[in-house]
């Protein structure tokens, strides 16, 4: 949105996932193959396969996948590497995992009821559309995001490690950074108070600077 329609965006913030412009010299699927940690995305490609696994027991799926890094919430590591070789994302995980500290009770039941209706096909189709998205991103006239932007990294995200965001300043001139060290992949669920504080303070700063710029032009 901020790349293609900057006139409609005052500021943009990202959690964990870094921004880099599409590389015209390397097909996006080949890039994914070169990073073993993204093997799950290759597993998602064949329609129906991942759906069958993830929809079989929705309580197990969500209770396994959406967990915090807290000691009392630990399970054997859910590996995103070698997923195709193992034959599934949840292979080797407990059949009846204990409740997640960040998704349980009424919240978990809400997820289950919604996915009973819609299933996983639509979310997984995002990964099946990656080449089309890559080609679309190549069409961007400007490869840079020019609006004020915030990147929040999480120190314990095993998939989207903070090091992946290195060099974002080259493509986002007005980039601000914040970091939550004791946080895993589900930042907004694991550390909501810390994240809200970061977002509010940054947005207030962006607003104050924008107001000052408008006043200075009068």
Q: What is the pLDDT of residue 218?
A: 47
List strand residue ranges (DSSP E) for the chain, in order: 12-15, 149-154, 175-180
Q: What is the pLDDT of residue 72?
A: 94
Residues with Cβ < 8 Å from 43, sequence gap 6 or more? Answer: 49, 50, 83, 84, 88, 89
Residue corresponding to tokens 């097909």: 27
Q: What is the pLDDT of residue 209?
A: 84
pLDDT in 10s for each residue of the chain, 218 residues: 999 999 999 999 999 999 999 999 999 999 999 999 999 999 999 999 999 999 999 999 999 999 999 999 999 989 999 999 999 999 999 999 999 999 999 999 999 999 999 999 999 999 999 999 999 999 998 899 999 999 999 999 999 999 999 999 999 999 999 999 999 999 999 999 999 999 999 999 998 888 767 664 54
**Helices (H), strands (E): how many in the chain?**
10, 3
Q: What is the pLDDT of residue 208?
A: 87
> Please, where in the chain does CATH 3.40.50.1820 lie?
6-21+142-217
Q: What is the pLDDT of residue 215?
A: 60
Architecture of 6-21+142-217 per CATH? Answer: 3-Layer(aba) Sandwich (3.40)
């Amino acid at each position: 949105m901020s790349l293609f329609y900057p006139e409609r965006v005052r500021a943009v913030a990202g959690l964990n996932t870094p921004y880099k412009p599409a590389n015209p010299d390397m097909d996006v699927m080949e890039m994914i193959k070169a990073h073993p940690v993204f093997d799950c995305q290759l597993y998602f490609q064949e329609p129906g396969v991942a759906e069958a696994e993830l929809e079989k027991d929705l309580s197990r799926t969500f209770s396994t996948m959406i967990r915090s890094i807290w000691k009392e919430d630990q399970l054997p590591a859910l590996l995103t590497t070698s997923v195709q070789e193992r034959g599934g994302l949840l292979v080797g995980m407990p059949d009846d995992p204990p409740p997640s500290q960040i998704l349980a009770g009424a919240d978990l039941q809400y997820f289950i009821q919604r996915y009973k209706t819609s299933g996983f096909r639509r979310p997984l189709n995002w990964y099946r559309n990656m080449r089309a998205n890559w080609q679309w991103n190549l069409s961007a006239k400007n490869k840079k995001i020019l609006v004020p932007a915030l990147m929040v990294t999480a120190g314990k995200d095993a998939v989207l490690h903070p090091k992946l965001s290195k060099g974002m300043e080259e493509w986002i001139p007005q980039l601000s950074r914040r970091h939550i060290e004791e946080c895993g992949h589900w930042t907004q669920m694991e550390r909501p108070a810390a994240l809200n504080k970061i977002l509010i303070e940054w947005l207030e700063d962006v607003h104050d600077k924008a107001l000052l710029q408008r006043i200075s032009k009068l």
